[in-house]
Amino acid sequence: MKIVVLRERKKDELRVAVTPDAVRKYIAAGAVITVETGAGSTAGVSDAEYEAAGAVIAADAFACLGEADIILKVQPPDNKELMLMREGALLVGMLDPYGQRDMLNAYNLKKLSAFALELLPRISRAQAMDVLSSQSNLAGYRAVIDAVVASGKVVPMMMTAAGTVAPAKALVLGAGVAGLQAIATAKRLGAVVSAFDVRPAVKEQVESLGAKFIEVPAEESGETQGGYAKEMSEDYKRKQSQLIHDTIKKQDIVISTALIPGRPAPVLITEAMVKDMKKGAVIVDLAAASGGNCPLTEQDKMVVKHGVILIGLSNMPSRVAVDASQLYSRNLYNFVSTLLIGKEKKLDVKWDDELVTGTLLTKDGATVHKGFV
């Protein structure tokens, strides 16, 4: 079984799919691991560390893809990489199927078995493989750090001989994994934190972190059976908009994380709200890649609109690439190990396993995932 780890080529992607610790695990499972030279350099891992773990270093993608049984990636492959992959190989990574549907045809032309880890079902067996949770956790942390740096304001209350500095006020929109970590990070730094979510069930989690939960009184639930947020009624949206508008006027930092899988990000922060915010306040829009929770957000840019700083960086986990790579690598190994069957750990995929059917996009030249057929 030959596994290849490629250097990520997408702009601003600093993570790597496999770290040396995972290399040792794959080798113990009977695999031969080839790592493209420089693959880990932006994540703090040298070629020498990979070699010490037992990996073979390849000069480039040409030298390692032709015979690969499994290709491990963070981002979807580019056209050059696809051309070099052999027919029937397994491709595993965060393949962004909603944003890059056209890639499914390319995978089919190469008859790849392409697994998108973002689609893992929310079951107990999948928790150790949950790339969305591990990476969103880091995104929530980094969002607060970037907001604090951009704001130029001290976060905790400080009492000095020259007077008292009031603590910063932070609002987190969306209390999923990223939002909860943003709440915890802002609270640890000393901010006065409040949070909003359409799912009343997260109120207890928000309050347990020391934040105030603001909510719209409503009978409808904002949560799907899978635990994700869903789109709400027009009446709810009107009440929600007014609540956020009233709250956002007082904030120094706003972290917005609201996403609906497969849909454009909901608009939570209107231009009118931005106009009413404090001058110098900061919005970090973690939904920038899906259109943004604020229409003024510009993807992968930091801009100033109406005196408010808007940060729309779409790959926050890459900004903490060392730890993001470590977590992603563990998630990835836990998933790939389910594809290795029997005591000898040979590649023999159980195609009817719910982890496989939940993530498999293409197989044998056809799109097989029910969400994309």
Catalytic residues: 122, 127, 130, 133, 228
Identity (one letter) of the amino acid at 37? T
* 88 contacts 68 by C-beta, under 8 angstroms: no
Place of tokens 């917005």: 256
Q: HSE of 220 in the Cβ direction (CA atoms, 13 Å)?
A: 14
Q: Residues 209, 184: contact at Cβ < 8 Å?
A: yes
Distance (Å, whole) CA 211 – CA 357 = 39
Which residues partner with 173 through β-bridges? 196, 256
Is there a contact between 270 and 292 (Cβ–Cβ < 8 Å)?
Answer: no
Place of tokens 């008859």: 111
In three-state secondary structure terms, 84 is: helix
Cβ neighbour number for residue 289 with a 10 Å cutoff: 17
Main-chain phi, psi angles of 367, to 5 degrees: -80, 125
SS3 192: strand
Which CA distances in Å does 226 have to 30, 128, 131, 177, 244?
A: 35, 17, 16, 14, 26
Determine how β-strand 163-165 pairs with β-strand 158-160.
antiparallel
